[in-house]
Chain A
Amino acid sequence: MGLTGLAAGAMFLPSFPGFGGTLVDPERLLEQVDPAVKKRLADAALNAAKSAGASYADVRIGRYLNQSVFTREKQVQNIASGESYGAGVRVIANGTWGFAATNTVTEAGLAKAAQLAVQIAKANSKVQKEQVQLAPQKGYGQVTWKTPIMQNAFEVPIAQKVELLLAANAKAIENGASFVNSSLFQINEQKYFASTDGSYIDQDIHRIWPNFTVSVVDRTTGKFRSRDGLSSPMGMGYEYLTPKAQDQVAGPAGTGLVGYKGSYDILADAALAAKQAKEKITAKSVVPGKYDLVLDPNHLGLTIHESIGHATELDRVLGYEANYAGTSFATLDKWKTKNFQYGSKLVNIVADKTQPGSLGAVGYDDEGVKTGQWDLIRNGVLVDYQKIRDQAGIVGQDHSDGCCYAQSWQDVQFQRMANVSLEPGTTKMSVDDMIKNVDKGIYIAGRGSYSIDQQRYNFQFGGTVFYAIEKGKIAGMVEDVAYQANTQEFWNSCAAICDRSDYRLFGSFFDGKGQPSQVSAVSHGSATTRFNGVNVINTARKIG
């Protein structure tokens, strides 16, 4: 029953996971805690854990800051600045994990949490059947890492943010929108990790996401359509909202679309969105059948996320998520053959925790492993998974991939998706070059409806805007489009990928997983990509 939701409702807080915390004066978001203080606190926790019988312990002392601004049409709906400060202690005792968290951030408070974590581990060890085995990890000593931002979004006055969102709303209304909702999410994770391996890691992580939804209502027909912003959430500061010409890639001729890289023009996109939402009202309804799909990176990112990102998470493959999100078709026996053809030979998928501007970029993960990059699919063949320290040994590997994450200090860290991206093509090719070879196809940009089964075989995706492609040219907007496919068949139908000049990041800001559910943020890079002969259904229905 939603006690938490009820309290949030009373506070007019946005009901977005990971947001909330203690509401504070925005000025407070600029404060930092002295690393020397955090080290002293961390040592108190680690020593208490060892004294209580832990064979391993780590502690995360975190200040998780967030700010959200919501507007509609000419008015501000809500502004909230949140802070959550506390520490989580994770231990292994009797070969079993234990975890406890506290918002009493004192040496005594952390020591108490550590003792409780050991107590929980020992209690659970009585019904435990598999001993936890950690991949070895050397300590890094005292190190730091920061998201390379140009402008801290929390330093920008709220009035300036409101002004920008209201200006975007005005652009949408001027161009025919009936309604427009816009929002700006900003996150700063100030997190300090220490472990009995000898690491003391201080990190300062920033993320930002501007977004809007424009709706057009045709009262005479009763029809309504909406078009979301084509921004991407990014691991960046407020500089993302200062548009730069060199960050813009022209979409297909005849669409007016623009692809955004390291900066976003919310005003131009809002104006275009209103025009496109209006056009959607009268667009032709798609004729179902097989089409060659040309998928923009801002659309394809979600397909990569669902059909490759989640399917190659080792905890899913092993069954740890069976009761919630499910397992995976990409089983160990397929991987062990070394020739499981996940996609066509053009498909090279890389997992990465370092890519600048990406949501997943950190120096070290939440169990103190330095991050890097590794192949998941090479020349179409499944070559590896995403794994953390307690999983590596299960697949005979001696190292973690560094993709352990917790949404806050009070949640236990576990395996989360790295940035999972499709490498661009190596032959020069623009989106117009790609389209000119398509006889009967559909071009799709932006995220829409998404659904995939619990083993990641069968999926269905919609999109934000759809254009028919006829004899090598864009032939007007279509509506009611969704494509259904089997993951392996779909990726094996990959027939062409544009070159690096078209490569852009898509992002998922609130990716949910685990019980109790936690969110994480992750990016997916790709260039525009062609898939041949995909089944497209018509989603129009009539209700009485």
Chain B
Amino acid sequence: MAILSKDEAQTILKKVLGFSTADECEATLTGETGGNVRSARNTISTAGAVDNVSLAVESRFGKRSGVATCNQFDDATLRRCVQRAEEIAKLAPESPEYVPLLGPQQYMASPKSFAQNTANITPDYRAQQTAASMQLCDTKKLDSAGFLEDSAGFIAKRNNKGLEAYQQVTSLSYSVTVRTKEGTGSGYATADYNDISKFDAARLTQIAADKATGSVGAKALEPGKYTVILEPAALVANTDASLLGALMNAFDARNADEGRSFLSKKGGGNRKGEKMFDERITIYSDPSNAEIPDLAFSGDGRPQKKMTWIEKGVVKNMYTSRFWAQKAGIPDIPRPGSWIMEGGTQTTADLIKGTQKGILVTRLWYIRPVDPQTLLFTGLTRDGTFYIENGKIKHPVKNFRFNESPVIMLNNIEAIGKPVRLAGNLVPPLKVRDFTFTSLSDAV
């Protein structure tokens, strides 16, 4: 029963609200069905399946709130779940950050976040895609390790103030690491989709395999400041922290207003309206974008709209909780589910052609914050790093550790390529000068 229709979901939610005796009550129903396959050493290592529907009920008496959940949907269980939320609420302390539940909201016409062919994925489909990847590596005498995960689900919300929301989402993400048998070369490829019609594990494995064989025989370059071309996978990741992900995670208005963000202003306030990045940098969100269709509402039911965060290098908006928006008297903007960095038309290959001397970074890894004041991060290159000379890849280079801030990086822009989908966002490859590598790594 993992994917309930709008009517089925709202029928359950109406029943739940009918059991409520609280001042305010909001119910959220989520469901997901899907599976995963993991492989390593060119063979399947583990596989799993997920199938679950869960109801969360939040009850409020005055400024006291309680939440309870259940995953059975008979009347008795639903009634117990509501009662438990109410009991917890009565025992909870009053929240000084209380804001009333939202009333009826207008959401954008449902983005095309659901694809039936993704929802139809079978264990055989996962096995076939994985087998195709492993087979390619067997033929080339390379080692592969991969992970395929897919999901089809829905979310439905309803409260006693009139809010009503429903949307279905499907997704598939795949990543593969290919290594040479001797462990001297390594390559990586990843992609994610709402609609799997373009997914081809073998095609992605071929990209990773080319990087693996191409990265054998890496030479050491001195650490220092280099012009780099950062492929999208070096800028965002779906499994770990990333430079652009970290930047967008730091756009919280409250942290900025409280003086503990790179967006805080000396003397108080925040830097909204200031030009902090190169004028070619524009980052916005749009849940209706056909390439990255996303949810039309946030976790607390606020509409997700097209929203600009950085426009021509100027900080345009920050997201905030509803409490902080009220307290600070600022626009009430939810955190986006995904974002789009504007770019041009050049591919990574075009950027390489236009580069006299530089380094191609295909992936960055183990990125961790060093200083929140400047948004300084450290991490390493991984799975294929190459020296560029006269518009061509000259030879692979050993991996570097970097210490760099995305704020500084987005001020040192040389060129911006064509955005591609990665981890649910649209991200262009970037050519950046003076990127700071601080040491060498022997890792392959």
Check if B123 sits within 8 Å of A1, measured CB to CB: no
CB distance from A431 to the nearest CB of B (A): 26
With both chains docked as a complex, state the minimum distance between the C-beta of A280 and any C-beta of chain B, in angstroms. Answer: 11
Given the interface pairs A451-B380, A541-B374, the reply to whether A129 lies near B443 with Cβ below 8 Å is no
- For the complex, is A364 an interface residue (Cβ under 8 Å from B)? no
- In the bound complex, residues from chain A placing their C-beta under 8 Å from that of B131 are 127
Residues in A whose Cβ lies below 8 Å from that of B177:
322-323
CA distance A127 to B132 in the complex (A): 10
Q: How far is the CB of B209 from chain A (nearest CB, A)?
A: 14
Residues A540 and B371 in contact, CB atoms below 8 Å apart:
yes
Q: Mark B25-48, 1 if CB is under 8 A from A, else 0.
A: 010101010001010111111111
Give CA–CA (A453, B239) in the complex, Å: 15
B176 contacts A2, CB within 8 Å? no
Beyond A7-B56, A76-B93, A450-B368, whether A322 also contacts B68 by CB under 8 A is no
Known: A217-B260, A318-B41, A451-B367. A12 touches B442 (CB 8 A): no
Closest to A535 in B: B439
Instruction: Let me know if A543 and B407 touch, CB within 8 A.
Output: yes
Q: Which residues of B contact A37 (CB under 8 A)?
A: none
| B355 surroundings in chain A (CB, below 8 A) | none
B84 near A25 with CB under 8 A, answer yes
Tell whether, in the assembled complex, residue B49 and residue A100 are in contact, meaning their CB atoms are under 8 Å apart. yes
Rounded to whole Å, the gap between the CB of A82 and the closest CB of chain B is 9
| Across-interface contacts of A9 in B (CB, < 8 A) | 298-300
Q: Does A146 contact B (CB under 8 A)?
A: no
- Within 8 Å by CB of A449, from B28, B169, B368, lies B368
Known: A1-B337, A222-B266. A127 touches B43 (CB 8 A): yes
Chain B residues with Cβ below 8 Å from A326 are 365, 382, 443
- From residue A367, how far is it (CB to closest CB) to chain B in Å? 14
Establish whether residues B43 and A3, one from each chain, have CB atoms under 8 Å apart when the complex forms. Answer: no
If A1-B169, A7-B54, A11-B58 touch, does A543 touch B408 (CB 8 Å cutoff)? yes
Chain A contacts of B262 at CB under 8 A? 543
Question: Could you say which residues of chain B place their CB within 8 Å of the CB of A510?
Answer: none
Closest to A7 in B: B30
Q: Does A145 contact B (CB under 8 A)?
A: no
The answer to whether the Cβ of A482 comes within 8 Å of any Cβ in the partner chain is: yes
- Contact digits for B272-304, partner A, Cβ 8 Å, 1 yes 0 no: 000010000000000000000011001111000
B175 on the interface (CB 8 Å rule)?
A: yes
Determine which of A25, A329, A451, A541 lies in contact with B408 in the assembled complex, contact meaning CB atoms within 8 Å. Answer: A541
Which of these binds chain B: A48-56, A241-249, A456-464, A498-506? A456-464
Inter-chain CA distance A128–B46, complex, in Å, is 11
Distance in angstroms from A12 CB to nearest chain B CB is 7
The B-contacting residues of A in range 492-537, CB under 8 angstroms, are 515-517, 535, 537
Q: How far is the CB of A361 from chain B (nearest CB, A)?
A: 26
* Set of chain B residues within 8 Å of A220, measured between Cβ atoms: 266-267
Q: Which of B134, B179, B439 contacts A484 (CB 8 A)?
A: B439
A-side contacts of B146, CB under 8 Å:
323
Q: Output the least CB separation between A344 and chain B (Å).
A: 20
* Chain B residues, CB < 8 A from A540: 371, 374
Specify which chain A residues have a CB less than 8 angstroms from the CB of B369 in the assembled complex.
449
Q: Among B8-16, B151-159, B388-396, B414-422, which stretch is in contact with chain A?
A: B151-159
Question: Does B227 interact with chain A (Cβ within 8 Å)?
Answer: no
CB neighbours (8 Å) of B30 from chain A are 3-4, 6-7
**Is there a chain A Cβ closer than 8 Å to B149's Cβ?**
yes
Q: When A221-B266, A451-B379 are in contact, do A120 and B47 touch as well, CB less than 8 Å? A: yes
B375 within 8 Å of A by Cβ? yes
Q: Does B259 sit at the interface, judged by CB under 8 A?
A: yes
B233 CB-CB contact with A under 8 Å: no
One of B325-333, B341-349, B397-405 contacting the partner: B397-405
Determine the distance from Cα of A318 to Cα of B183 in the docked complex, in whole angstroms.
11
CB closest chain-B residue, reference A73: B96
In the complex the two chains form, what is the Cα distance from A221 to B268 in whole Å? Answer: 10
- Which residues does chain B contribute within 8 Å of A458, judged by CB atoms? 380, 399, 401, 439-443
What distance in Å separates the Cβ of B384 from its nearest Cβ neighbour in chain A?
12
From A219, A323, A516, A543, B267 is in contact (CB under 8 Å) with A219
B188 contacts across to A, CB distance below 8 A: 323
Which residue of A has the minimal Cβ distance to B40?
A: A320
Minimum CB distance partner of A539 in chain B = B370
Whether the pair A10, B370 counts as a contact (CB closer than 8 A) is no
| A9-B299, A11-B56 known; A454-B382 Cβ under 8 A | yes
Question: What are 17 A-B residue pairs whose CB atoms fall within 8 Å in the complex?
Answer: A3-B153, A3-B169, A10-B299, A22-B68, A98-B47, A126-B127, A178-B259, A224-B373, A226-B372, A319-B143, A322-B145, A322-B177, A449-B368, A454-B365, A458-B443, A516-B48, A541-B408
B residues neighboring A (CB under 8 Å): 26, 28, 30, 32, 36, 38, 40-49, 52, 54, 56, 58, 65, 67-71, 84, 87-88, 92-93, 95-97, 113, 123-124, 127, 130-131, 134, 143, 145-147, 149, 151, 153-155, 157, 169, 171, 175-177, 179, 183, 188, 194, 239, 258-260, 262, 264-268, 276, 294-295, 298-301, 337, 365-376, 378-380, 382, 399, 401, 403, 405, 407-408, 411, 424, 438-444
A contact set with B: CB distance below 8 Å: 1-13, 22-25, 75-77, 79-80, 96-101, 103, 116, 120, 123-124, 126-130, 162, 178-179, 215, 217, 219-224, 226, 318-324, 326-327, 329, 331, 411-412, 414, 449-458, 460, 462, 480, 482, 484, 486, 515-517, 535, 537, 539-544
Which 9 pairs show the lowest CB-CB distances between chains A and B? A9-B299, A222-B266, A217-B259, A458-B441, A455-B443, A323-B145, A453-B443, A322-B145, A515-B147
Q: Given A12-B58, A517-B239, 6 more contacts at CB 8 Å?
A: A6-B298, A217-B259, A453-B401, A482-B378, A515-B36, A540-B374
